[in-house]
């Protein structure tokens, strides 16, 4: 118990002091996971909408693959990305292994099925007559899409939060493809594992508190946006 | 005059099954038309084709005599002169005012100009006081009023209404039907209403289209069609009782049957008597046809198995075939 209190105290001390190493690790975590989430939104939302709204051959199988991908083990993704980026691997020429970019790639693969699968579920919950009704009022294709997204905004923002939550918290893939290199690819989760290994439990707890705080702040910001438009009387 | 909308040999198929086969249909400009038919007759499909929201598998949709364009951009321009209100229309999760402004927004009409067009329709449909309310918090009748206002503000050349009262309870339906009837009487717009209810059809339209099993079985002015139904389906849809007598078939208008003798009398074998509370319904057969005669409380009622006379007022002969 004393250890936890000491850890929390230490976390605040590190933050208030503006410890450059901790700030650097925090900033990298945020950038890497933020970028991975953003990429997964750019690709995953259109994919999810197509899966949710359109009917085409192979749709159910693809949806099944995406849905099972929501529980993709990070170490498996880490392994596959490592093999692909390995010097002699198919993408070895890119020389990306043990760089922040490699972590982004791995986390993007982890977040993509989460975002796409939850997006598909979100748009399938809409009234199936909505597109037709919007068209019946003179909506163009784009205008229809905008209003469908608007109508599904609550579950769509939940998809964003779930995607970000999945990648900011994973450690296996970051460790394997990033290598936990100080000042380069060390993120909050890999740093925590390292400190635990060294027996520095107070530092590990401090890092965990920072990770939780960071996740909470970001998710809270999205939640505020999400709930602003839903206050119904 | 060229009809504003016309169908020529239009067919629509769903999973290989033909759900609509309209050889020819013309909607004249300014006409108020009701499309009547039983459930699953293809009424909503017909409306979607008329609204250029569904391309038929075969045939042509003519807008003012010219085939509807296939290119999305040109089709959109035409579509924007038509407004459609779906059955149980989905409203968007925003305020009533924003919902009513939706179609105007699609056409780039916003701000003061949109407000100027919205206000009279909110008043006309009695939903002014709901303008800032969220659409999700409305009753069924209020929702339908918002959906109608949303279409009326567009001042469309053609207004398509799919079962505008289907989801409503009797009091909201009656009050909205009265309001809509009054609005349509003043409106020059062409209106096509789909309904399965003959009363709604008779009150909202001057012309009727009878659709049964995806085919148009009758079309024409309400007066002609309901004075002399051209066929059995039309007669039965509008509540006529069809009776066979001596190789001919006659249709008796709703309320035209009474127990007793009259100028036209049939012999009915009583099968059962149902207590309606406010009266009794005597159900029986004349030849192969089944009929029901309502009798007020206090009148003498026959028993099952009896043979009684039924007087038919206003009976018209149905064409053979």
Closest CA of chain A from B83, distance in Å? 5
Q: Are A66 and A120 in contact (CB under 8 A)?
A: yes
B/e letters for B294-315, b = 16+ CB within 10 Å, e = fewer, are bbeeeeebbeeeeebebbbeeb
Instruction: Classify domain A2-228 at the CATH superfamily level.
Output: MetI-like (1.10.3720.10)
Contacts 24+ apart (CB under 8 A), A149-153: A149/A49, A150/B92, A150/B93, A151/A126, A151/B92, A151/B93, A152/A122, A152/A123, A152/A125, A152/A126, A153/A226, A153/A229
- The CATH number that domain B5-227 falls under is 3.40.50.300
In 3D, which of B320, B247, B230 has the Cα closest to residue B288? B247
User: CA of A231: which chain B residue's CA is closest?
Assistant: B134
Domain boundaries, chain A: 2-228
- What's the confidence (pLDDT) of residue A232? 44
Contact B48 A140 (CB under 8 A): no
Q: Confidence band (pLDDT; 50, 70, 90) for A65?
A: very high
What pLDDT is attached to residue B289? Answer: 86
Among B72, B89, B154, whose Cβ lies nearest the Cβ of A133? B89
Which residues of chain B are modeled with pLDDT < 70? 321
The answer to whether B74 faces chain A, any CB pair under 8 Å, is: no
Taking the Cβ of residue B79 and every Cβ of chain A, the question of whether any pair is shorter than 8 Å is answered with yes
- Counting one residue from chain A and one from chain B, the pairs whose CB atoms sit within 8 A come to 61
Please report the residues numbered 124 through 143 in chain B whose beta carbons come closer than 8 angstroms to any beta carbon of chain A.
133-134, 136-137
Whether B103 sits inside 8 A of A137 (CB atoms) is yes
Note the ipTM here. Answer: 0.87
Distance (Å) of CA A126 to CA A82, A130, B48: 40, 7, 20
The model's confidence at residue A233, banded by pLDDT at 50, 70 and 90, is: very low
Distance of alpha carbon A24 from alpha carbon A4, whole angstroms:
23
Distances (CA, A) of B42 to A131, B19, B38, B168, B206: 20, 6, 9, 22, 21
The full set of domain ranges for chain B reads: 5-227, 240-317
pLDDT of residue B321: 63
Q: What is the reported pLDDT for B199? A: 87
Inter-chain touch A129–B86, beta carbons under 8 Å: yes
CATH architecture of structural domain B240-317: Beta Barrel (2.40)
Q: What's the token pair of residue A25?
A: 């690790």
Note whether B5-227 and B240-317 share their fold: no
How far is the C-alpha of B46 from the C-alpha of B56, rounded, in Å?
9
DSSP string, B63-100: ETTEEPP-SHHHHHHHHTTEEEE-SSPPPPSSBHHHHH
pLDDT of the residue at B298:
85
* pLDDT confidence bin for A58, thresholds 50/70/90: very high
For the stretch A97-154, pLDDT in tens is 999 999 999 999 999 999 999 999 999 999 999 999 999 999 999 999 999 999 999 9
CA-CA distance, B100 to B106, in Å (whole number)?
Answer: 12
CB B33 within 8 A of CB B92: no
pLDDT tops 60 at residue A231:
no
Q: Does B298 touch chain A (CB under 8 A)?
A: no
Q: Output the average pLDDT for chain A.
A: 91
Cβ atoms of residues A205 and A8 within 8 Å: yes
Give me B163's structure tokens: 């079962």
Identity of the residue in B51, B107, B134 whose CB atom sits nearest the CB atom of A232: B134
Please give the biggest Cα pair distance in chain B.
Answer: 72
B148 → chain A, closest CA residue: A137
Give me the phi and psi of A102, to 5 degrees please: -65, -40
The percentage of chain B sitting over the pLDDT mark of 70, rounded to a whole number, equals 100
Mutate to test the interface with B, among A125, A126, A138 (most CBs of B within 10 A): A138
A224, burial (CB in 10 Å: exposed 0-12, middle 13-18, buried 19+) = exposed
Q: Is the Cβ of A228 closer than 8 Å to some Cβ of chain B? A: no
Interchain proximity A138–B89, CB inside 8 Å: no
- Tell me the CA end-to-end span of chain B in Å, nearest whole number: 33
Contact B60, B15 (CB under 8 A): no
Q: Which residue from A136, A140, A151 is facing B92, i.e. has the nearest CB?
A: A151
Contacts of A133 in chain B (CB under 8 A): 84, 86, 89-90
CA nearest A138 in B: which residue? B80
Do the Cβ atoms of B151 and A232 come within 8 Å?
no
Asked whether residue A14 carries a pLDDT value surpassing 90, the answer given is no
pLDDT tens digits along A153-211: 999 999 999 999 999 999 999 999 999 999 999 999 999 999 999 988 888 888 999 99
Residue in chain B closest to A230 (alpha carbons) equals B93
A138, B88: Cβ pair inside 8 Å?
A: no
> How far is Cα of residue B146 from the mean position of the Cα atoms in its chain?
20
Nearest CA in chain A to B154: A137
Give the pLDDT score at A230: 59
């Amino acid at each position: 118990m004393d250890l936890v209190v000491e850890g929390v105290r230490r976390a605040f001390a590190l933050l208030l002091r503006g410890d450059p190493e901790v700030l650097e690790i925090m900033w990298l975590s945020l950038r890497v996971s933020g970028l991975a989430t953003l990429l997964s939104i750019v690709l995953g939302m259109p994919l999810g909408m197509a899966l949710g709204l359109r009917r085409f051959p192979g749709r159910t199988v693809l949806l099944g693959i995406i849905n099972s991908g929501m529980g993709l083990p990070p170490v498996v993704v880490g392994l596959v990305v490592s093999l692909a980026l390995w010097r002699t691997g198919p993408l070895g020429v890119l020389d990306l292994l043990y760089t922040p970019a490699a972590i982004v790639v791995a986390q993007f693969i982890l977040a993509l099925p989460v975002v796409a699968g939850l997006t598909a579920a979100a748009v399938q919950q809409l009234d199936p007559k909505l597109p037709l009704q919007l068209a019946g009022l003179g909506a163009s294709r784009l205008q229809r899409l905008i209003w469908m997204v608007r109508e599904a905004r609550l579950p769509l923002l939940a998809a964003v939060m779930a995607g970000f939550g999945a990648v900011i918290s994973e450690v296996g893939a970051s460790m394997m493809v990033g290598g936990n290199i100080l000042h380069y690819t060390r993120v909050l989760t890999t740093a925590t594992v390292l400190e635990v290994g060294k027996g520095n439990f107070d530092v590990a707890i401090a890092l965990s508190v920072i990770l939780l705080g960071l996740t909470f702040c970001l998710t809270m910001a999205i939640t505020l946006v999400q709930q602003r438009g839903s206050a119904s009387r | 005059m060229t009809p504003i909308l016309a169908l020529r040999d239009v067919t629509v198929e769903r999973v290989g099954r033909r759900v609509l086969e309209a050889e020819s249909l013309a909607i004249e400009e300014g006409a108020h038309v009701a499309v009547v038919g039983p459930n699953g007759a293809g009424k909503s499909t017909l409306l979607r084709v008329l609204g250029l929201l569904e391309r038929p598998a075969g045939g042509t949709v003519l807008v003012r005599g010219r085939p509807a364009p296939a290119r999305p951009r040109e089709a959109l321009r035409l579509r924007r002169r038509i407004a459609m209100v779906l059955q149980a229309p989905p409203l968007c999760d925003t305020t009533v005012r924003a919902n009513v402004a939706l179609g105007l927004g699609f056409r780039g009409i916003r701000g003061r100009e949109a407000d100027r067009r919205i206000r009279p329709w909110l008043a006309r449909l009695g939903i002014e006081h709901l303008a800032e309310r969220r659409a999700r918090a409305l009753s069924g009748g209020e929702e339908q009023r918002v959906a109608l206002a949303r279409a009326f503000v567009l001042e469309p050349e053609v207004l398509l209404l799919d079962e505008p009262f289907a989801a409503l309870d009797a009091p909201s339906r009656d009050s909205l039907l009265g309001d809509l009837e009054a609005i349509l009487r003043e409106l020059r717009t062409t209106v096509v209403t789909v309904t399965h209810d003959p009363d709604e059809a008779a009150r909202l339209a001057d012309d009727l289209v009878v659709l049964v099993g995806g085919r148009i079985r009758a079309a024409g002015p309400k007066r002609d069609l309901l004075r002399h139904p051209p066929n059995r389906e039309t007669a039965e849809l509008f509540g006529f009782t069809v009776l066979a007598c001596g190789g001919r078939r006659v249709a008796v208008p709703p309320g035209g049957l009474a127990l007793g003798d009259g100028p036209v009398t049939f012999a009915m074998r009583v099968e059962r008597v149902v207590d309606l509370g406010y009266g009794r319904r005597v159900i029986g057969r004349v030849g192969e046809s089944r009929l029901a005669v309502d009798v007020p409380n206090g009148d003498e009622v026959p028993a099952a198995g009896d043979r009684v006379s039924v007087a038919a007022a206003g009976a018209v002969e149905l064409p053979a075939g």
